[in-house]
Structure 1
Amino acid sequence: MKKHKTKFKNMTISGFALFLMLGMVACGGETEVADDGVVEDAWVADDLENDTGVSTWDSEAFNTRFASTDYYEGWDANDDNFLDENEYRRGFYDTWDVNDDEALDENEWTMAAKDWRLENQSWTDWDTSGDGVLDENEYNAGFDTIVWYGEWDQDDDNQLSEREYTDGVFRLWDANNDEVLDDTEYRVYSVYYAS
């Protein structure tokens, strides 16, 4: 009888373990647990669901999420905790170069133009050589036609703090100006920042 109880106990434990493994496989290995605080995906932690079931992020949640990364620090070449205009310009070049090949081609620029809402800009105006890739001079000349840096520098000190930067990005992506980013507006983050 004892032998049967042990066998039954081992089968039960094995079955439970198999059940847990199958559950994890079915969930794609994700271990996010909402509001329990057990395990939480860092990129979903600040999600707020509105009454229609759509996740939204206000400027505070967006800033908190961005500040938890080292993207801004990566742009700050001189480590002074501010972005000057050259660091800002170069940071965008690196960010828009989504395949990290140190070249900004027409496909990347076109995608960035759409995602970052570059209005009144055209590839041919930027790629003045017509070779399909922006060299540093072409990129700088084209980027200088965008007036974001001055607009984002809220205190007019000719340097951007991380908060000024994140507020600028937030305003750009908030296409409907409702002061929150919904899933559609926020999806751009995963293209350029979530790696």
Structure 2
Amino acid sequence: MKNEKFLSTVGKGLSLLFLAGLVACGGEGEVVETTEVGEAELDNEMVTAETYDADRFNTTFASTNYYEEWDANDDDMLDQNEYTAGLYDTWDVNNDNRLDENEWNTAISDWGLENESWAEWDANADGFLDENEFGTGFADNAWYGEWDTDDNNLLTEREYTDGVFGLWDANDDNMLDEAEYRAYNIYYVD
């Protein structure tokens, strides 16, 4: 039952992302054939996937309300506290206002932070991360500064979407395909 609900949610998320992409580009999508899906190679089977460059991704992703949800004070900028709180909420996939070790392990792997230690982040050893523990554990990460390309200590929506794009672009080819953003759907599904 849980697997069916999860698969249904993932399927809805993919559909929503593709629909948003089609709406953003006026229904004109580029179909690209590839034999690569993530890190796995399919045996001569062709896969079709829509691809996004940074501008197209920005248009599509900006049409969602994710940035606005992170912008707690509604000033159209993200400070570091809003950024960290938004990321915390994003990783809290079961929406119980705390991160359990399973959510954290999955997110750490999915978001490319494999060298982190749960024991170091869970300071009070209660088996969950609250926002303060998350903020302290995440403080050593340089993402916010990397995303803040104009170095004004605030993220615009474009800096935010460019930061997300950069994280998802696993092969650094300046294009996102389905394989690259598929893993992140669990974090960006309503």
TM-score by length of 2: 0.76
1:18-167 equivalent positions in 2, closer than 5 A: 42-45=19-22, 47-52=29-34, 53-167=48-162
SS of 1:57's partner is: coil
Counterpart-to-counterpart distance in 1, 2:158 and 2:95: 26
SS of 2:179's partner is: helix
Which stretch has the larger CA shift, 183-192 or 101-110? 183-192
Identity score, percent: 58
Unaligned runs of 5+ in 1: 1-31, 33-40
Letter in 2 for 1:60: D
Q: Report the structure number with the largest CA radius of gyration.
A: 1
Counterpart-to-counterpart distance in 1, 2:164 and 2:86: 13
Calculate the aligned-residue CA RMSD, in Å: 1.7
SS of 1:50's partner is: strand
TM-score by length of 1: 0.74
Counterpart-to-counterpart distance in 2, 1:143 and 1:59: 26
SS of 1:82's partner is: coil
Letter in 2 for 1:48: E
Counterpart-to-counterpart distance in 2, 1:128 and 1:184: 35
8 A Cα contact 2:110 2:184, kept in partner: no
Counterpart-to-counterpart distance in 2, 1:88 and 1:139: 12
Unaligned runs of 5+ in 2: 1-14, 35-47
Counterpart-to-counterpart distance in 2, 1:142 and 1:48: 40
Q: CA deviation at 1:59?
A: 1.1
Counterpart-to-counterpart distance in 1, 2:184 and 2:21: 12
8 A Cα contact 2:98 2:130, kept in partner: yes
Higher relative contact order (CA 8 A, sep 6+): 2
Counterpart-to-counterpart distance in 2, 1:135 and 1:51: 43
